Amino acid sequence: MNGRLQDKVAIITGGASGIGLASAERFVAEGAKVVIADINDAAGRQVEARHAGALRFRSCDVAVDADVEALVAFAIETFGRLDIMFNNAGIQGDRAGFTEIEATSFDAMLRLLTGSVLSGHKYAARQFRRQNSGGAILSTTSAAGLLGGYSNLGYTAAKHAIVGIVRAATFELAPYGIRSNAIAPGVTVSPIMASSFGVPAEHADAFQDFIAERCAVLQPVPRAGRPRDIANAALFLCSDEAEWISGVVLPVDGGGTAITHCDPTTVVAQAGMEFMKTAS
Protein backbone atom coordinates (compact mmCIF):
# COMPACT_ATOMS: atom_id res chain seq x y z
CA MET A 1 0.00 0.00 0.00
CA ASN A 2 1.45 3.34 -1.08
CA GLY A 3 0.44 6.88 -0.28
CA ARG A 4 -0.49 6.20 3.34
CA LEU A 5 0.70 9.70 4.27
CA GLN A 6 -0.28 11.41 1.04
CA ASP A 7 -0.45 15.22 1.44
CA LYS A 8 0.54 15.02 5.12
CA VAL A 9 3.25 17.27 6.55
CA ALA A 10 5.52 15.79 9.20
CA ILE A 11 8.34 16.95 11.45
CA ILE A 12 10.88 14.36 12.58
CA THR A 13 13.53 15.34 15.12
CA GLY A 14 16.84 13.52 15.05
CA GLY A 15 16.08 12.93 11.40
CA ALA A 16 19.58 12.96 9.93
CA SER A 17 20.49 9.41 10.94
CA GLY A 18 19.28 6.16 12.45
CA ILE A 19 15.61 5.77 13.32
CA GLY A 20 14.81 9.35 12.36
CA LEU A 21 16.35 9.03 8.92
CA ALA A 22 14.68 5.68 8.22
CA SER A 23 11.34 7.17 9.27
CA ALA A 24 11.81 10.31 7.19
CA GLU A 25 12.58 8.31 4.06
CA ARG A 26 9.64 5.98 4.68
CA PHE A 27 7.30 8.92 5.21
CA VAL A 28 8.46 10.57 1.97
CA ALA A 29 7.95 7.29 0.11
CA GLU A 30 4.37 7.25 1.42
CA GLY A 31 3.60 10.73 0.08
CA ALA A 32 4.43 13.02 2.99
CA LYS A 33 6.31 16.30 2.99
CA VAL A 34 8.88 16.11 5.79
CA VAL A 35 10.98 18.52 7.81
CA ILE A 36 13.86 16.81 9.59
CA ALA A 37 15.59 18.48 12.51
CA ASP A 38 19.05 17.66 13.79
CA ILE A 39 22.21 19.22 15.21
CA ASN A 40 24.28 17.46 12.53
CA ASP A 41 24.02 20.09 9.81
CA ALA A 42 26.20 18.29 7.27
CA ALA A 43 24.22 15.05 7.46
CA GLY A 44 20.93 16.92 7.43
CA ARG A 45 21.85 18.83 4.28
CA GLN A 46 22.83 15.59 2.56
CA VAL A 47 19.43 14.06 3.33
CA GLU A 48 17.69 17.20 2.07
CA ALA A 49 19.65 17.04 -1.19
CA ARG A 50 18.57 13.43 -1.77
CA HIS A 51 14.89 14.31 -1.44
CA ALA A 52 14.65 17.71 -3.09
CA GLY A 53 11.18 19.18 -2.87
CA ALA A 54 9.79 16.55 -0.50
CA LEU A 55 12.09 17.04 2.48
CA ARG A 56 13.69 20.03 4.16
CA PHE A 57 16.33 20.21 6.88
CA ARG A 58 16.28 22.58 9.84
CA SER A 59 19.17 22.84 12.29
CA CYS A 60 17.63 22.49 15.75
CA ASP A 61 18.73 21.78 19.31
CA VAL A 62 15.62 20.12 20.72
CA ALA A 63 16.84 20.78 24.27
CA VAL A 64 16.09 24.46 23.61
CA ASP A 65 12.36 25.18 23.77
CA ALA A 66 12.63 28.18 21.45
CA ASP A 67 14.36 26.03 18.81
CA VAL A 68 11.41 23.63 18.77
CA GLU A 69 8.99 26.54 18.46
CA ALA A 70 11.02 27.85 15.50
CA LEU A 71 11.08 24.36 13.98
CA VAL A 72 7.30 24.17 13.90
CA ALA A 73 7.14 27.69 12.44
CA PHE A 74 9.61 26.64 9.73
CA ALA A 75 7.45 23.66 8.76
CA ILE A 76 4.42 25.94 8.43
CA GLU A 77 6.34 28.49 6.39
CA THR A 78 7.72 25.76 4.13
CA PHE A 79 4.77 23.42 3.61
CA GLY A 80 1.78 25.42 4.86
CA ARG A 81 0.53 23.13 7.61
CA LEU A 82 1.47 20.38 10.08
CA ASP A 83 -0.11 16.96 10.51
CA ILE A 84 2.52 14.84 12.29
CA MET A 85 5.09 15.58 14.99
CA PHE A 86 7.60 12.78 15.63
CA ASN A 87 9.69 13.56 18.73
CA ASN A 88 12.59 11.22 18.09
CA ALA A 89 15.87 12.99 18.89
CA GLY A 90 17.96 11.72 21.78
CA ILE A 91 21.31 10.51 23.11
CA GLN A 92 22.49 7.95 25.66
CA GLY A 93 24.05 10.70 27.77
CA ASP A 94 25.81 10.32 31.12
CA ARG A 95 26.32 6.66 31.99
CA ALA A 96 26.95 7.34 35.71
CA GLY A 97 25.06 5.31 38.30
CA PHE A 98 23.18 6.37 41.43
CA THR A 99 26.22 7.06 43.59
CA GLU A 100 28.17 8.96 40.93
CA ILE A 101 25.70 10.95 38.85
CA GLU A 102 25.77 14.74 39.18
CA ALA A 103 22.55 16.74 39.45
CA THR A 104 23.54 19.04 36.57
CA SER A 105 24.17 16.08 34.26
CA PHE A 106 20.90 14.43 35.21
CA ASP A 107 18.99 17.67 34.65
CA ALA A 108 20.59 18.07 31.22
CA MET A 109 19.52 14.56 30.20
CA LEU A 110 15.95 15.21 31.32
CA ARG A 111 15.88 18.48 29.37
CA LEU A 112 17.10 16.82 26.18
CA LEU A 113 15.28 13.50 26.31
CA THR A 114 12.04 14.45 28.09
CA GLY A 115 11.81 18.24 27.85
CA SER A 116 12.16 18.06 24.09
CA VAL A 117 9.15 15.73 23.93
CA LEU A 118 7.13 18.17 26.03
CA SER A 119 8.18 21.05 23.74
CA GLY A 120 7.24 19.03 20.67
CA HIS A 121 3.80 18.29 22.09
CA LYS A 122 3.24 21.91 23.09
CA TYR A 123 4.05 23.57 19.78
CA ALA A 124 2.55 20.87 17.57
CA ALA A 125 -0.69 20.92 19.59
CA ARG A 126 -0.90 24.70 19.30
CA GLN A 127 -0.61 24.43 15.52
CA PHE A 128 -3.10 21.57 15.27
CA ARG A 129 -5.62 23.62 17.25
CA ARG A 130 -5.03 26.68 15.04
CA GLN A 131 -5.69 24.52 11.98
CA ASN A 132 -8.68 22.87 13.69
CA SER A 133 -7.42 19.74 12.01
CA GLY A 134 -6.40 17.29 14.71
CA GLY A 135 -3.02 15.65 14.32
CA ALA A 136 -0.69 12.85 15.34
CA ILE A 137 2.15 13.17 17.83
CA LEU A 138 4.59 10.29 18.14
CA SER A 139 7.51 10.10 20.57
CA THR A 140 10.42 7.70 20.86
CA THR A 141 10.77 6.28 24.33
CA SER A 142 12.65 2.99 24.73
CA ALA A 143 12.51 -0.46 26.22
CA ALA A 144 14.40 1.42 28.94
CA GLY A 145 11.24 3.46 29.40
CA LEU A 146 9.37 0.30 30.35
CA LEU A 147 11.93 -1.72 32.33
CA GLY A 148 15.08 -1.18 34.33
CA GLY A 149 18.33 -2.71 33.11
CA TYR A 150 18.19 -1.67 29.47
CA SER A 151 20.32 1.44 29.86
CA ASN A 152 21.87 3.87 32.30
CA LEU A 153 20.05 5.64 35.13
CA GLY A 154 19.51 9.03 33.50
CA TYR A 155 18.33 7.58 30.20
CA THR A 156 16.00 5.11 31.94
CA ALA A 157 14.40 7.81 34.10
CA ALA A 158 14.00 10.23 31.17
CA LYS A 159 12.47 7.61 28.90
CA HIS A 160 10.02 6.54 31.62
CA ALA A 161 8.93 10.18 31.91
CA ILE A 162 8.05 10.26 28.20
CA VAL A 163 5.40 7.63 28.89
CA GLY A 164 3.82 9.99 31.41
CA ILE A 165 3.78 12.85 28.89
CA VAL A 166 2.07 10.66 26.30
CA ARG A 167 -0.65 9.58 28.70
CA ALA A 168 -1.23 13.10 30.00
CA ALA A 169 -1.40 14.38 26.43
CA THR A 170 -3.94 11.72 25.51
CA PHE A 171 -6.22 12.92 28.30
CA GLU A 172 -5.84 16.63 27.56
CA LEU A 173 -5.57 16.75 23.77
CA ALA A 174 -7.92 14.01 22.54
CA PRO A 175 -10.97 16.33 22.60
CA TYR A 176 -9.22 18.37 19.90
CA GLY A 177 -8.63 15.33 17.68
CA ILE A 178 -4.94 15.18 18.64
CA ARG A 179 -3.47 11.74 19.23
CA SER A 180 -0.29 11.01 21.21
CA ASN A 181 1.51 7.68 21.13
CA ALA A 182 5.02 6.38 21.72
CA ILE A 183 7.29 3.71 20.32
CA ALA A 184 9.61 1.80 22.65
CA PRO A 185 12.46 0.35 20.58
CA GLY A 186 14.49 -2.53 21.90
CA VAL A 187 18.14 -2.99 20.99
CA THR A 188 18.29 -1.32 17.58
CA VAL A 189 21.52 -1.40 15.61
CA SER A 190 22.28 1.86 13.82
CA PRO A 191 25.26 4.06 12.86
CA ILE A 192 24.78 6.05 16.08
CA MET A 193 25.71 2.95 18.06
CA ALA A 194 29.02 2.75 16.20
CA SER A 195 29.83 6.41 16.82
CA SER A 196 29.02 6.08 20.53
CA PHE A 197 31.81 3.49 20.79
CA GLY A 198 34.21 5.70 18.85
CA VAL A 199 34.36 3.27 15.93
CA PRO A 200 36.05 4.84 12.87
CA ALA A 201 33.72 5.46 9.94
CA GLU A 202 35.47 2.87 7.78
CA HIS A 203 34.60 0.16 10.33
CA ALA A 204 31.04 1.30 11.07
CA ASP A 205 29.26 -1.21 8.83
CA ALA A 206 31.32 -4.11 10.13
CA PHE A 207 30.67 -2.97 13.69
CA GLN A 208 26.91 -2.89 13.14
CA ASP A 209 26.92 -6.39 11.66
CA PHE A 210 29.04 -7.63 14.56
CA ILE A 211 26.73 -6.10 17.18
CA ALA A 212 23.63 -7.34 15.35
CA GLU A 213 24.95 -10.91 15.45
CA ARG A 214 25.68 -10.69 19.19
CA CYS A 215 22.34 -9.05 19.97
CA ALA A 216 20.32 -11.71 18.16
CA VAL A 217 20.04 -13.61 21.46
CA LEU A 218 18.54 -10.70 23.43
CA GLN A 219 14.90 -11.18 22.40
CA PRO A 220 12.60 -14.02 21.27
CA VAL A 221 12.71 -12.92 17.62
CA PRO A 222 16.27 -14.03 16.83
CA ARG A 223 17.71 -10.89 15.29
CA ALA A 224 18.58 -7.38 16.40
CA GLY A 225 16.34 -4.48 15.47
CA ARG A 226 17.13 -2.12 12.63
CA PRO A 227 15.91 1.45 12.07
CA ARG A 228 13.49 0.25 9.38
CA ASP A 229 11.62 -1.79 12.02
CA ILE A 230 10.90 1.34 14.02
CA ALA A 231 10.07 3.33 10.88
CA ASN A 232 7.43 0.76 9.90
CA ALA A 233 5.70 1.11 13.27
CA ALA A 234 5.99 4.90 13.14
CA LEU A 235 4.31 4.95 9.73
CA PHE A 236 1.30 3.07 11.05
CA LEU A 237 0.89 5.13 14.24
CA CYS A 238 1.14 8.41 12.29
CA SER A 239 -1.27 7.33 9.56
CA ASP A 240 -5.05 7.60 9.47
CA GLU A 241 -5.15 3.83 9.94
CA ALA A 242 -4.40 4.50 13.62
CA GLU A 243 -7.02 7.25 14.02
CA TRP A 244 -8.59 5.53 17.06
CA ILE A 245 -5.29 4.79 18.80
CA SER A 246 -3.97 7.20 21.42
CA GLY A 247 -2.05 6.78 24.67
CA VAL A 248 -0.33 3.63 23.43
CA VAL A 249 3.30 2.81 24.16
CA LEU A 250 4.20 0.23 21.52
CA PRO A 251 7.26 -1.96 22.16
CA VAL A 252 9.09 -2.63 18.89
CA ASP A 253 11.65 -4.99 20.33
CA GLY A 254 11.26 -8.50 18.95
CA GLY A 255 9.39 -9.48 22.11
CA GLY A 256 12.22 -8.44 24.40
CA THR A 257 10.14 -6.65 27.03
CA ALA A 258 7.62 -9.48 27.12
CA ILE A 259 10.05 -11.84 28.81
CA THR A 260 12.73 -12.01 31.49
CA HIS A 261 16.13 -12.13 29.83
CA CYS A 262 19.78 -11.23 30.17
CA ASP A 263 21.22 -7.74 30.56
CA PRO A 264 21.49 -6.24 27.04
CA THR A 265 23.60 -3.28 28.19
CA THR A 266 26.36 -5.63 29.33
CA VAL A 267 26.20 -7.76 26.18
CA VAL A 268 26.42 -4.74 23.87
CA ALA A 269 29.27 -3.16 25.85
CA GLN A 270 31.30 -6.38 25.92
CA ALA A 271 30.75 -6.96 22.21
CA GLY A 272 31.76 -3.39 21.41
CA MET A 273 34.99 -3.66 23.39
CA GLU A 274 35.76 -7.04 21.81
CA PHE A 275 35.27 -5.62 18.32
CA MET A 276 37.53 -2.67 19.02
CA LYS A 277 40.28 -5.02 20.16
CA THR A 278 40.06 -7.10 17.00
CA ALA A 279 39.90 -4.01 14.74
CA SER A 280 42.92 -2.28 16.28
DSSP state of 33: E
C-alpha to C-alpha distance for 206 and 256, rounded to whole angstroms: 24
Which stretches within 85-184 are classed as H helix? 103-110, 116-131, 153-173
Of 123, 150, 155, 176, which one is the catalytic site residue? 155
Beta bridge partners of 12: 36, 86
Burial of 68 (0-12, 13-18, 19+ CB in 10 A): buried
Cα torsion angle, 149, 150, 154, 158, sign:
negative
* Nearest Cα residue to 16 out of 119, 42, 87, 28: 42
Beta bridge partners of 183: 140, 250
Whole-Å CA distances, 196 to 23, 93, 95, 230, 263: 21, 10, 12, 20, 19
Burial of 253 (0-12, 13-18, 19+ CB in 10 A): buried
Do residues 239 and 28 make contact, with C-beta atoms less than 8 angstroms apart? Answer: no
Q: Does residue 155 have an active-site annotation?
A: yes
Beta bridge partners of 210: none
* Nearest Cα residue to 85 out of 132, 129, 139: 139
Supply the residues annotated as catalytic. 155
